[in-house]
């Protein structure tokens, strides 16, 4: 009898909860919803945490979906059920802007929060290494020019590319094609190098998949661990991961420039990029605290020259640019398709 | 043995029989050796895995505190009640809430006192012999060390705080509460529907093409990769029914769908294990089908049903893939207050911590894994206990 009653109770409880669930409806929110880049995620969640701890608002929810994934969700539509902000480690693409516009997301403000360098690193056990963007491209491109035409990449050792490079097998652990870091690497290293090089008719960004370049997932920590175990290998990841692990890994200089915060913000270091987020301006009136969150993010305390995000690995923008960004946010400067081309 | 014959050359046959017997015994010993070897290998992997996890996790259970002076004598300057000079040592989680603290405790105004507060994770890591500090900070840490202004305490923040970007303040509370919500909803959804479906299929349904097709489909569903249930959850629950993204209800319904076939299959197996004589006895006494099921078959099969359900739940608890698609693998430090609030679960939190750059998160990830394993072991132990406790023999 005991068992029977227990069973009946659980059946009843199940029915009640199921009914309550289906009745739940989304209303105007007091919790900000953010998606987007895994590179911006640590900074955004730091600000979100500070925002939740120091104001009465709930902490914004931030999903790390990658820049492309974030744009996809962001552009799904406008309204209380949709996300408010997407983070990106690259600019919005014109195609993404058009998709947004098709789905009714027209009033968007673009905000630059700072810069991030992409570092090519190895363990400190190795001798210091310098690579040019051309050499790096020849190591990871699917096809390279040989005797005037493009052939499948034959290089397996660095010294086959240039005799001045060490006799080490080419192994590069890097981000997969869904990652903003990968987009930036392709653009800033491969595209930039192949524009200048003989043998490529047009900018070339196809990465080889015959072994030497290893897709290592969105998790930069994993890449840091891999290059510690595989001491021959190089790894590609964001600057903040270098900063946190200087005792075990070091950066390869690119075109002779070391990725220091100064070199990255001055754009001397060639493989650096700006970090962004995009806001849906129609949401400012409907989502409590959204304005406060963005203002906190853009404050000197956060993205300033000595701001808290600097400690998290963000490379601050120059003073002038920070003021420009704040001014654009104040007037909710609307993003135009022409800006992105 | 049956080859052993009596006769003139019986002795020779006996010899070959003995040799054969020995050969068979040798084969058995070999086989047993291989089996023990396999068991040993599995055990060694388990010990290695658990051991490395425990070793990595242990430092996470202690946390450095630092003794500082808190000075609320000037209430307008509450944000600098702890000397901003010490910002390189004291956790940001302590200093940023100083104004709120004064506001909530007005009696502190005008007071000045010494207090143990949370130190930064970098300091904690440095004292544990990991990572490096800037020259200036290191000298200060050494001075503090000599003055006895550091101490280790039990890292209760790991259990009383939600997720945080500050490793020293990062905790599992929001994820644990989220996991409880999600599991309760999974149970509430999968258990009644699963058990009722199984009872119908096993006790009432006629055996025809239709029920056979249903049965095959249920068996197939149990083998479907979990990520597909995430896609289903996204398409049906969120996009069609409008369940809020990232909410515990979305997670519970999605994982409930995933657990449903397991519950149905284990319930059917448990029902089938009840001997037919019991049903026949009840029917012979004039009981209806429903009475037979309610009063005899169900109580007897309950241990099996519960075991299957708990194992299904344990599986759901360790799942992240489907939750990724419905937005539950996210930065959600607040404890959910209702089933429609944004929530995250323990494996999702572990996944997030594993990708953080700070070294202090490495040990916290391992600690979180240990906590999750403990909960899973507790769940499975409950399943074993229930089976033992209610098992009936006939």
CA angle B330, B365, B94 (to 5 degrees): 75
Residues in chain B: 394
Q: Does A245 touch chain B (CB under 8 A)?
A: yes
Q: Is the pLDDT of residue A143 over 60?
A: yes
A100: β partners: none
Asked whether the domain spanning A117-272 has the same topology as the one spanning A29-115+274-340, the reply is: yes
pLDDT confidence of residue B386:
83
Summarised one tens digit per residue, pLDDT across range B234-255 is: 999 888 888 888 999 999 999 9
pLDDT confidence of residue B316:
93
Greatest mean pLDDT range, A163-172, B3-12, B193-202: B193-202
User: Taking CB atoms and an 8 Å cutoff, what residues of chain A touch B96?
Assistant: 50, 53-54
Summarised one tens digit per residue, pLDDT across range B52-87 is: 999 999 999 999 999 999 998 887 888 888 988 898
Residues B366-385, mean pLDDT to the nearest whole number: 91
In chain A, domain spans: 29-115+274-340, 117-272
The whole-angstrom separation of Cα B232 and Cα B235 is: 5
User: Taking CB atoms and an 8 Å cutoff, what residues of chain B touch A219?
Assistant: 354-355
Q: Residue A21 — very low, low, confident or very high, per pLDDT cuts 50/70/90?
A: very low
- What fold is seen in the domain A29-115+274-340? D-Maltodextrin-Binding Protein; domain 2 (3.40.190)
Instruction: Write the CB contacts of B45 (distance below 8 Å, at least 6 apart in sequence).
Output: none
User: Taking CB atoms and an 8 Å cutoff, what residues of chain A touch B340?
Assistant: 24
Percentage of the residues of chain A whose pLDDT score is greater than 90 = 33
Q: Is the pLDDT of residue B312 over 70?
A: yes
> Which domains, ranges and CATH numbers included, belong to chain B?
61-94+110-154 (no CATH), 173-390 (1.10.3720.10)
CB B68 within 8 A of CB B94: no
Chain A segment 38-67 residues within 8 A of B by beta carbon are 38, 41-42, 44-46, 48-50, 52-54, 58-59, 61-64
CB A38 within 8 A of CB A66: yes
Is the complex ipTM more than 0.95? no
Out of A218-222, B92-96, B147-151, least confident range: A218-222
pLDDT confidence of residue B9:
53
DSSP per-residue letters across A32-74: -EEEE-TTTHHHHHHHHHHHHHHSSSPPPEEE---HHHHHHHH
CA angle A247, B145, A306 (to 5 degrees): 55
Write down the mean pLDDT value for chain A.
85
Structure tokens at B43: 């055990």
Q: Residue B209 — very low, low, confident or very high, per pLDDT cuts 50/70/90?
A: very high
Q: Does B334 touch chain A (CB under 8 A)?
A: yes
Q: Residue A10 — very low, low, confident or very high, per pLDDT cuts 50/70/90?
A: low
Residues A270-290, mean pLDDT to the nearest whole number: 91
The whole-angstrom separation of Cα A133 and Cα A254 is: 7
Torsion of CA B121, B124, B125, B129, to 10 degrees: 170
The whole-angstrom separation of Cα B266 and Cα B198 is: 9
CATH class of the structural domain A117-272: alpha beta
Summarised one tens digit per residue, pLDDT across range B6-61 is: 445 555 567 788 889 999 999 999 999 999 999 999 999 999 999 999 999 999 99
Summarised one tens digit per residue, pLDDT across range A222-248 is: 888 889 988 889 999 888 888 888 888
Q: Is the pLDDT of residue A183 over 60?
A: yes
pLDDT confidence of residue A6:
53
The whole-angstrom separation of Cα A236 and Cα A233 is: 10
Q: Is the pLDDT of residue A17 over 50?
A: no
pLDDT confidence of residue A33:
93
pLDDT confidence of residue A145:
86
Q: How many CB atoms are located within 10 Å of the residue B364 CB?
A: 30
**What is the H or E stretch that residue B392 is in?**
none
Among residues B191, B162, B193, the alpha carbon closest in space to that of B179 is found at B162
- Provide the pairing of β-strand A33-36 with A61-63: parallel
Question: Closest residue of A to B328, CA-based?
Answer: A63
Write down the mean pLDDT value for chain B.
90
The whole-angstrom separation of Cα A259 and Cα A135 is: 18
Summarised one tens digit per residue, pLDDT across range B166-188 is: 999 999 999 999 999 999 999 99
Cβ pair B243:A41 closer than 8 A: no
Q: Is the pLDDT of residue A24 over 50?
A: no
Cβ pair B249:A21 closer than 8 A: yes
Q: Residue A283 — very low, low, confident or very high, per pLDDT cuts 50/70/90?
A: very high
Residues A171-179, mean pLDDT to the nearest whole number: 84
Q: Residue A260 — very low, low, confident or very high, per pLDDT cuts 50/70/90?
A: confident
Q: Is the pLDDT of residue A13 over 70?
A: no
Inter-chain Cβ pairs, chain A and chain B, closer than 8 A = 130
Distance from CA of A264 to the nearest CA of B (A): 19
CA angle B149, B151, B154 (to 5 degrees): 155
Cβ pair B354:A63 closer than 8 A: no
Q: Residue A147 — very low, low, confident or very high, per pLDDT cuts 50/70/90?
A: confident
pLDDT confidence of residue A3:
52
pLDDT confidence of residue B253:
94
Choose the closest CB to A14 out of B191, B299, B339: B191
């Amino acid at each position: 009898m005991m068992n029977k009653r227990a069973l009946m109770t659980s059946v009843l409880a199940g029915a009640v909860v199921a009914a309550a669930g289906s009745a739940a409806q989304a209303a105007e929110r007091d919790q900000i919803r953010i998606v987007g880049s895994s590179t911006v995620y640590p900074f955004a969640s730091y600000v979100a945490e500070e925002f939740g701890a120091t104001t009465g608002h709930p902490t914004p929810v931030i999903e790390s979906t990658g820049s492309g994934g974030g744009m996809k969700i962001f552009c799904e539509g406008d309204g209380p059920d949709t996300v408010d902000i997407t983070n990106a480690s690259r600019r919005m693409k014109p195609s993404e802007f058009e998709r947004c516009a098709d789905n009714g997301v027209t009033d968007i403000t673009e905000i630059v929060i700072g810069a991030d360098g992409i570092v090519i690193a190895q363990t400190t056990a190795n001798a210091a290494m310098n690579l040019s963007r051309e050499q790096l491209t020849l190591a990871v491109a699917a096809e390279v020019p040989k005797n005037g035409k493009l052939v499948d990449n034959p290089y397996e050792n660095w010294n086959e590319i240039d005799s001045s490079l060490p006799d080490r097998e080419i192994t590069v652990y890097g981000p997969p094609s869904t990652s903003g870091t990968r987009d930036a690497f392709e653009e800033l290293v491969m595209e930039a190098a192949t524009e200048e090089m003989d043998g490529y008719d047009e900018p070339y960004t196809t990465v080889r998949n015959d072994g030497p370049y290893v897709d290592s997932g969105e998790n930069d920590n994993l890449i840091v661990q891999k290059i510690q175990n595989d001491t021959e290998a190089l790894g590609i990841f964001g600057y903040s991961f270098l900063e946190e692990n200087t005792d075990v890994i070091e950066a390869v200089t690119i075109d002779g420039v070391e990725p220091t915060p100064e070199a990255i913000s001055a754009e001397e270091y060639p493989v650096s990029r700006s970090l962004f987020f995009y806001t849906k301006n129609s949401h400012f009136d409907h989502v409590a605290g959204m304005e406060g969150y963005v203002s906190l993010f853009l404050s000197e305390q956060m993205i300033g020259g000595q701001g808290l995000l600097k400690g998290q690995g963000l490379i601050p923008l120059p003073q002038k640019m920070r003021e420009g960004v704040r001014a654009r946010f104040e007037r909710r400067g609307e993003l135009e398709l022409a800006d992105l081309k | 043995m049956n080859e052993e014959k009596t006769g003139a050359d019986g002795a020779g046959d006996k010899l070959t029989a003995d040799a054969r017997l020995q050969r068979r015994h040798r084969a058995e010993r070999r086989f047993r050796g291989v089996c023990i070897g396999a068991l040993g290998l599995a055990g060694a992997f388990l010990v290695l895995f658990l051991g490395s996890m425990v070793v990595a996790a242990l430092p996470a259970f202690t946390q450095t505190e630092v003794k500082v002076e808190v000075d609320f004598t000037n209430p307008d300057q509450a944000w600098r009640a702890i000397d901003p000079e010490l910002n390189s040592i004291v956790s940001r989680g302590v200093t940023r809430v100083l104004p709120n603290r004064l506001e909530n405790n007005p009696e502190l105004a005008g007071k000045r006192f010494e207090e143990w507060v949370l130190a930064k994770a970098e300091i904690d890591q440095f004292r544990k012999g990991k990572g490096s500090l800037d020259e200036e900070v290191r000298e200060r840490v050494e001075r503090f060390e000599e003055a006895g202004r550091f101490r280790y305490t039990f890292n209760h923040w790991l259990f009383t705080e939600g997720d945080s970007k500050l490793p020293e303040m990062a905790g599992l509370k929001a994820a644990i509460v989220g996991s409880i919500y999600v599991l309760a909803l999974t149970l509430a959804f999968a258990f009644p529907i699963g058990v009722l479906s199984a009872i119908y299929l096993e006790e009432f349904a006629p055996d025809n093409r239709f029920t056979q097709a249903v049965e095959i489909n249920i068996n197939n569903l149990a083998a479907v990769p979990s990520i597909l249930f995430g896609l289903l959850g996204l398409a049906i629950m969120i996009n069609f029914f409008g369940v809020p993204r990232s909410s515990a209800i979305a997670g519970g319904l999605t994982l409930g769908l995933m657990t449903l076939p397991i519950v149905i299959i284990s319930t059917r197996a448990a029902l089938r294990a009840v001997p037919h004589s019991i049903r026949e006895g009840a029917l012979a006494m004039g009981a209806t089908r429903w009475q037979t099921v309610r009063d005899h078959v169900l109580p007897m099969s309950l241990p099996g049903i519960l075991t299957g359900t708990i194992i299904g739940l344990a599986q759901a608890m360790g799942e992240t893939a489907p939750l990724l698609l419905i937005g539950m693998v996210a930065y959600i430090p607040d404890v959910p207050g209702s089933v429609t609030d944004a929530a995250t679960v323990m494996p999702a939190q572990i996944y997030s911590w594993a990708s953080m750059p700070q070294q202090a998160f490495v040990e916290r990830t391992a600690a979180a894994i240990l906590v999750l394993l403990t909960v899973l072991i507790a769940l499975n132990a409950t399943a074993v206990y229930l089976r033992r406790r209610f098992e009936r023999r006939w």
